[in-house]
Structure 1
Amino acid sequence: MKAVLKISFWAILLLLAGLIALFLILQTSHSGWLTQQFLSRVTDNSIQINESHYQYPDQLTLSRVTIAQPNNSVIAINSVQLSFEAQWRWPKPLSITNVLISGVNLPEGIPDKKQLDNLVQRWQPQHIEIRGMDFANNDFIARDIQLTYTPKAPYPEGYLNIDSDQVYWKGEAFDNFKARINYVEDKTQLDLVSFNWRGGEIQFIAEKNSDDWVINDALVRNLQLSEPLFSQPEPPPLIPLLKKITSIEHLEIERSSWQANDLALNQMHLQLSNWDLRKGLWTQDSPFQFSAESVALHEQLLLEPQASGQFASHSIQFDKLTFLFEQGQFTTSGKLSEDSVHLNELEVKNLEWSIEDPEVHDAVMKSLHALQTFEIDKLKVERSQLIDISTDNHWQVSNVNAEGRELILKKDGNWALWNGSFAASANSLSAFGMTSIKPYLETDTTHGLWHVRQLFLPINDGLIKADSSIDLGLASYPWQVSVQAYGLPLESITHPLDAAVGWSGLADLTIDLSGLGGDELMLKHSLDGQIKIAPHDVQLTLPFSPKDKHSVIIPEVNIEVNRGVVKVSEIQFVSQDLSGSVQGSVDLVDLEGGNIKFHLSTDCLSLSSTLPKGRNQISMTCPKAETQENP
């Protein structure tokens, strides 16, 4: 027993002596050699150190460390500081609690990542910190990286903090990059990612479920982007990453701009919630707020737009939408869908819009044509002007004032006043070659019966008054119209003759017609009524005539319509130097079975026109006469 005690005593004494000797050696210049010998036994010979320093009780600092790589490159590290913890159990009596690496340059990345993984898994440090690391690997370059990693089982899961002055990735610079990552294999959380990109500030919080990413919160400031950036052969590296995002719980964009082919958003602010990137625009369920300094669409500029509302199933609900456009102020709210518009109210003030570009005209008409329904509960227009010179049919209206209530303007793809009341006035209206001063319209539809109560159009030398009705509640659409016009330009009435004659003068016109408007055939069978035309102060200009003007008296023209048969009673023109007549009939159902003939002749000229065939004939009866016929 005494022998055992002696042996134990001397063993403990030798162990203490060894530890004391080891401690003393670590305080001398031989500490580097001793540490190198130790490392050569616990690792391969790829790690070399120049100097080591031990600080009692648990800290070892390695200086000027080099690590050889399989590709014959070397990783150089200024210093590695290790903190130990004695566990007094085999086979790992000693563990590394903290690792601090300072000044490391990785010009070719980490060629042997497997070796690094083996070291971390073998020693299982509780905390790793890297300061001042420069890293480059193919398309990825980062400078002055500050990194902390707190691993947890199973490796490589854990908490990771990354800070870098600048990161280059596939030619794009990301400045002031920061990331706070809770890495789990199937459910990673990005507690914070922030960086500056293309002059903008971006930060977000996100989480990963399986292969899908969800943005919990994102903030974008001062970002300037354009569509060509995304359509180039090598788009920015962020774009493929965006395809992995399935939804955005909350997004806020401030003072940012976007420009595409026909759309530009300048200095916009946007707040968006619950946006599902797997769904289309019309299937979202997301509240939003939007404002901007300007929005340009088809070269039309909207200033200071503001909107708030809700994306809902197959619709967009606007709680409020305001903007300035062509000097006009627009205020509205309502609901939009792919093929319908329902506005709670629409107020327009001081608009001065001149449409000159045919593409703008076509874009407006295309958008309106695509609608199946168009409704406005309350409409108010004040002091506004519209001009369209983009087509051959120029028109303009100035100083318009209008009001409407419960308006249904388009239904099942057909334009009409299906419901509601509407009244409008203007300082002037120019269309169809005529100008009206102080025109006025009043119309309404109740229970499907559409009435034009008043249409009052003062023109240069006269007046047009009209009233009409159509029953939209019946499939046959029975209608009637009554028009009284005084002082109409004669050329606007004689245009259907398509004769080579210049008409000047005025005409009084009375129209009383009725019929069924369900379809074209129904209209042709049902058209009834009469039209009376009383020309006066008539002068004609004839081709090949030595006389500039021919004064003519034309009696009243009576046109009777009975069940689609149009009959023009014969009339004779009265003049000193010409003669003429109009007569005939035509059945709208059978246009080939009749005709209306117009004839005009002088001493040397004979001219005729036939409707509806549209044939004109001019004959010269003087010497050296020539005949010309135009189909």
Structure 2
Amino acid sequence: MRIIGKIIATLAVLAALGATIILTLLHTQYAAPMLRQAVNQLTPYTLDLADVRYHIRDPWHLTLLSPSLSINDSQPPMSADRISFWLSPDSLTKRQWQFDSLLLDKPVVPAQALNQITLPEIRSQRLAISRLYVSTNTMVLGQAELQLDNWHYRPGTTTPWWQQFKGSFQLAADSAQWQQWETQQLLLDGHYGDSQWTLNGFSFDWQHASVNGQLGLDSDKKTLTIHQLTLSGLQLQDSGLTQIIRHQLENWASEQWQATLKRVDILDSSIELPAVSLNHANLSITNWQWPRSAYSQQDAWLSFNAESGSWQQQLFTDPLLDVNFRPHEVIINGASVNALEGYWRVEGKASPGALQLDNFTSKGIKWFLPADWANHLSLALSPFKQINIQSLDIGYAQLTAADSDTPWYINGLNASGKNIELRTQPYLSLWQGNVAATARQASLNTVDLFEPLVEMSSDNGQWQLEQAFLPFKDGLLEATGQIALSKEGQPWQLALQGDSLPAHILPRWLSVPWPASGHIDMTAAFQGLGQNYASLSHSLNGELRAAFRDSAVELGGEVLFNAWQQASSSDIPAATKAEVDKATPLAITPLKITSDRGRMTISPLSITGKEIDVLFKGQWDLATPSGQQLELEAKIGCQRLTKRWQEGQQTVSGSLCDGSSI
């Protein structure tokens, strides 16, 4: 036993002596060669370093200056400016590397070296890396400062080294890029554990904006909660970036990610894109659930304002929007904008298939409508089958559709209405309420109207045209009518009364080849079914009577005769002043058009002048348009002309004074 005791005592003395020698050497210039030699002899790697810092008063702390570790001669080494270890005493008993703290300053790890080296399992209560540069397929960090608590590196796992920790973390970087998202001055302060990331605070600069906020993310449940997010001074001009954002959102939605935006504020920001631009805009969103639709939100709010902007090249200023989103409805607390040289405001709510407005107000707008304005209107109203407006107020509007097939404009339009209900299917119609409209001046296909007036009402689909006054320079057209929108077939009635109507409305409004001047007195009463053309073509009944006064041919008989030989009345040239001065008076018999269940008949109409004699007659069946038969016979001296409209075609025949055929 004494021998064993002596052996143990001897070994203890030798161990103590060896430890003393090692600790002593760590204080000398031989520390670096000693560590270099130990690593080179005991591991397959090659270590090089400039110096070692150690002091017995801090026995668990060791600093290596300019360390470099090589795998082989063909690969670049891993290096750092400094590595400091605060070794944990537990590492001696648990036989693994455990550190209270581990500090790396400016580490350089080539990707190929990182893939080949096998590091041991390492634990550190605090991992700190300064002047870090990272470049991977998805992430780039420049001049970064990183701190991780409870870092536990386990070789052989698929989890990246920077996710192998639980606890608090901090990250600061001069620049950062993640999946094409580039930022500057990045700061993160948060906590990670059990697939849950919590950012108590983050900030960075992106697209000239200062961004900060707090959020939580659960990667297992694929949920993101943005507690607060603020973007100030955003300047977005890259349409390609918006495509990237849209594509990224689509990818997240396809992967079943969900997000809750408890509070998002975009302040004093500007957007300049091909379709839309905003200047000094502010947007706030609360309690928004993504990717839920607007009608699936629980209690979300949106408010928006801007100094100015444009949409589809239409300029506007001072837009304001305050909207509340609830299940199955969107409440418009207020929406207003200055646009088209006027002012717009609406309040109300929208739900799937219905729009209910408390008021719709527009003042002083001047709108040049595009050529396909009707399609734009239909597309805008298509989400709604029903539109209710409690109070309609349109004042001093000017609308111009110069590029339409039938050009028109209205100047000084004033329209008002109460308790309006519009139905958009199968076409836009007034189902309930009252509407009245007046204008200072209007024009329809170059025919001027002065102070027209229209009043209509509807009660549960029983639509009434109370009165329509269309005054011309020296004449007036009045109309009343009704249609039962709620009844099968939609039966309707229409009555017209015209006094001193200008004759030039016939070619302009009805495409009738009528180049004569004068006035027309007329009455008309028709009725039928209006649900579709088939119903109309079999049900139209009624009669139109017209008398012509002060009629004259301003172009002269010969020019008129030649013009009727052309394919359409639009080929008739305008009269010169000399031709107007020598206009030929005409005697025209009354016009009578009757319809019996869609079978139309035009009684023979005679036109007689000094040098012209014309007879016009015809009949057709609306149910069979190909059976249309209209015929015009004209005679000027020895010239004869017969023009027929039949089965959608025009034919011209006749003879000239020399006997040749037309």
2:442 to 425, 429, 448: 429
User: Distance in 2 between the 1:590 and 1:168 partners?
Assistant: 70
* CA separation of 1:25 and 1:616: change in aligned 2, threshold 3 A: closer
Q: Where in structure 2 are the equivalents of 1:439-588 lying within 5 Å?
A: 439-493=452-506, 502-540=515-553, 541=555, 542-544=557-559, 549-583=583-617, 585-588=619-622
Q: Which of 177, 181, 195 is the aligned partner of 1:186?
A: 195
2: CA distance between counterparts of 1:242 and 1:563? 58
Range with greater deviation from structure 2 (324-333 or 481-490): 481-490
Give the match for residue 47 of structure 1: 47
In the alignment, which residue of structure 2 is the partner of 1:105? 108
Contact 1:480-1:512 within 8 A present in 2 as well:
yes
Cα deviation 1:144-177 (Å, max 9, x = unaligned): 2211121256852224322111235688743112
Match of residue 258, structure 2, among 242, 246, 249? 246
Partner residue of 2:224 out of 211, 214, 224:
214
**Secondary structure of 1:57's aligned partner:** coil
Aligned-pair CA distance for 1:53: 2.1
> 2: distance between equivalents of 1:172 and 1:309?
30
Residues 367-387 of structure 1 deviation map (CA, whole Å, 9 limit, x = unaligned): 346753333222111111111
**Displacement, 1:391?**
1.9
State the match for 2:30 in structure 1: 30
Alignment of 1:249-288 (within 5 A): 249-250=261-262, 251-258=264-271, 260-279=273-292, 286-288=300-302
Match of 1:619 in 2: 654
Report the more deviating stretch, 214-223 or 470-479: 214-223
Aligned CA distance change for structure 1 residues 626 and 294 (closer, same or farther; 3 Å): farther
Match 2:65 to one of 46, 63, 66: 63
Q: Does 1:130 align with 2:129?
A: yes
Letter in 1 for 2:584: H
Structure-2 change in CA distance of 1:339 and 1:489 (3 Å): farther
Q: Distance in 2 between matches of 1:501 and 1:620?
A: 22
Say if 1:169 and 1:237, in contact at 8 Å, map to a contact too. Answer: no
Shift of 1:197: 2.9
Question: 3-state SS of the aligned residue for 1:523?
Answer: helix
The answer to whether the Cα contact below 8 Å between 1:361 and 1:390 also exists between their aligned partners in 2 is no
What's the counterpart of residue 574 of structure 2? none
AA at the equivalent of 2:609: S
CA distance in 2 between partners of 1:133 and 1:179 (Å): 15
Residues 454/236 of structure 1: CA separation in 2 closer, same or farther (3 Å cut): closer
**TM-score with structure 2 setting the length:** 0.81
Q: 1:164 aligns with which of 160, 164, 173?
A: 173
CA contact (8 A) 2:124 2:152 kept: no
Deviations 1:212-267 (A, max 9, x none): 351424333314143334559x9999997897653242333334444555344444
Aligned to 1:291: 305
Q: Taking structure 1 as the reference length, what is the TM-score of the superposition? A: 0.85
For residues 515 and 383 of structure 1, the distance between their equivalents in structure 2, rounded to whole angstroms, comes to: 37
Q: CA deviation at 1:444?
A: 0.7
Distance 2:185 2:552 in 1: 84
Q: Which letter does structure 1 place at the counterpart of 2:610?
A: Q
Bigger Cα displacement from structure 2, 469-478 vs 81-90 = 81-90
Please state whether the residue corresponding to 1:363 is helix, strand or coil.
helix
| Shift in alpha-carbon separation, 1:103–1:369, aligned structure 2, 3 A | closer
Matched, 1:176 2:178: no
Q: What secondary structure is seen at the aligned counterpart in 1 of 2:230?
A: strand
Q: Secondary structure at the match of 1:210?
A: coil
Partner Cα separation in structure 2 for residue 266 and residue 496 of structure 1: 45
Shift of residue 80, structure 1, vs aligned partner: 1.9
Offset of 1:16 from its aligned partner?
A: 5.8
**Native 8 Å contact 1:174 1:195 kept in 2:** yes
Give the Å deviation of 1:430.
0.9
The two structures, once aligned, show a CA RMSD in angstroms of 3.9
Judged with a 3 Å threshold, the aligned counterparts in structure 2 of structure 1 residues 333 and 263 are, in CA distance, closer, same or farther, namely same
SS of the residue corresponding to residue 553 of structure 1 reads strand
In 1, distance between residues paired with 2:510 and 2:409?
27
Give me the identity figure in percent.
Answer: 19
- Local SS of the residue matching 1:130: strand
For residues 9 and 594 of structure 1, the distance between their equivalents in structure 2, rounded to whole angstroms, comes to 129
Question: Using the alignment, how far apart are the partners of 1:325 and 1:219 within structure 2?
Answer: 29
Residues of 2 paired with 1:592 and 1:26: CA distance? 111
| Stretch moving more, 87-96 or 575-584 | 87-96
- Pick the aligned partner of 2:206 from 184, 193, 197: 197
Matched, 1:322 2:362: no
Give the partner amino acid of 2:348.
G
